[in-house]
Amino acid sequence: MRYLLTGGAGFIGSSVIRHLIANTSHHVVNVDKLTYAGNMESLLEVSNSSRYAFERVDICDAEELERVFSTYKPDVVMHLAAESHVDRSIDSPAAFVETNIIGTYHLLEVSRRYWLKLSAAKRGTFRFLHVSTDEVFGDLGQARERFTETSRYAPSSPYSASKASADHLVRAWQRTYGLPTLITNCSNNYGPYHYPEKMIPLMILNALECKPLPVYGQGLQVRDWLYVEDHARALCTVMEKGKPGETYNIGGNNEKRNIQVVEEICDLLDLIHPASRPYRSLIEYVDDRPGHDYRYAIDPGKCHSELGWSPSETFESGLRKTVAWYLDNLEWCRRVQEGKYQRNRLGISGAE
């Protein structure tokens, strides 16, 4: 099968590509604009594979998308490209509206035109999988329930509102035009190759430099955490076994308060990389993010029962792997922090 995957130089997309190249015989073309979040150095282990190709294309550029579709003739599309950082969406929402909404619209339209020209057999097996977030459902507050596939949409941030809009467009293209789409809504991911502005890598790297560990508010917000490689496997499972028109919630059954996550990172580092004082002493509480949702929690039961997917990592095992990965890959982190990875735009190993 030929996969066209958008956002493959990002955190989750690169994990999906590494998974597809290592564990299947599928071909993958990675369509990525390479914003600050796109890092070709996360794909070095697949860059020499004859089954992998890269196209530096903005999903808002319909003409370029048409060219990529007619060149690579994909059997399926997996759409991950997005602006993804909530804090950035609060400071500058325009890029979120542009990529997450307008970009998704262009990708849907180009996919639809391409799909209509396929043979009847190929049209029947074509799939458009849109990768979304549990943040579209908004804040559970103190309620005890978890999000299901039928939960009401109530996004709070410009990021989640733009992802919610994209989800609605995808559903409309399924319902109105019959494009065979699938949607996944996943909880917070963590793991190797995560851009250091996100909470878990930020805490690990700050701790290693004995810098403060900034925790929003009192750190009481609750998030469900999923190891990124489990998410990558889940997306491939949804692509293979999911039913067009359906939505699948993906989560790790790992609800944690933010402060608990930070304390667990500190305790792990105390064990495997001890410093002169306990890492917990670096924790600093800072002003809360505006509009910060209190709790998200995903019920992944449908994915378990209908598709047979379940995560292989617990939060404890995944966090141990993640901390160990960052300790072993400080050079990757240093190049991200110094912006050097952005000079390696063509994915040429070692190029500066």
What part of residues 16-35 is at the interface with ligand NAD (CB under 6 A)? 32-35
287 is catalytic: no
- The residue (of 11 and 173) whose beta carbon lies closer to ligand NAD is 11
Query: Residues 135, 139, 263, 293: which is the catalytic one?
Result: 135
Residue 240: closest CA among 85, 92, 96, 75 = 75
User: Two tokens at 210?
Assistant: 């004995």
Q: Does 4 bind ligand NAD (CB under 6 A)?
A: no
What part of residues 89-118 is at the interface with ligand NAD (CB under 6 A)? 99, 103
Residue given tokens 């559903």 in the structure block: 171
Q: Does 255 bind ligand NAD (CB under 6 A)?
A: no
Q: Does 59 bind ligand NAD (CB under 6 A)?
A: yes
Do residues 163 and 155 lie in contact, with contact meaning Cβ atoms separated by under 8 Å? Answer: yes
Closest residue to ligand NAD in the complex (CB)? 10
Closest approach of ligand NAD to the CB of residue 105, in Å: 12
Q: What are the C-alpha distances in Å from 88 to residues 290, 304, 314, 351?
A: 12, 33, 30, 29
Stretch that binds ligand NAD, among 44-52, 68-76, 128-136, 320-328 (CB under 6 A): 128-136
Q: Contacting ligand NAD (CB under 6 A), which of 20, 21, 29, 37?
A: 37
> Which H or E run contains 90?
helix 86-91
CA distance 135 to 155: 6
285 is catalytic: no
Q: Does 11 bind ligand NAD (CB under 6 A)?
A: yes
Task: Mark 183-222 as b/e (b = at least 16 C-beta within 10 Å).
Answer: bbbbbbbbbbbbbbebbbbbbbbbbbeeeebbbbeebebe
Stretch that binds ligand NAD, among 80-88, 214-222, 261-269, 284-292 (CB under 6 A): 80-88
Question: Bridge partners of 132?
Answer: 185
Closest approach of ligand NAD to the CB of residue 291, in Å: 17
- How is the beta sheet containing 188-190 ordered, strand by strand? 188-190, 222-227, 255-257
Closest approach of ligand NAD to the CB of residue 34, in Å: 5
Closest approach of ligand NAD to the CB of residue 80, in Å: 4
Residue given tokens 């240093």 in the structure block: 334
Q: Does 12 bind ligand NAD (CB under 6 A)?
A: yes
For 349-352, the CB contacts below 8 A with 24+ separation are 349/44, 349/47
Residues marked active site are found at 134-135, 159
Which residues bind to ligand NAD, rule: CB under 6 A? 6-7, 9-13, 32-35, 37-38, 58-60, 80-84, 99, 103, 131-133, 163, 186, 188-189, 195
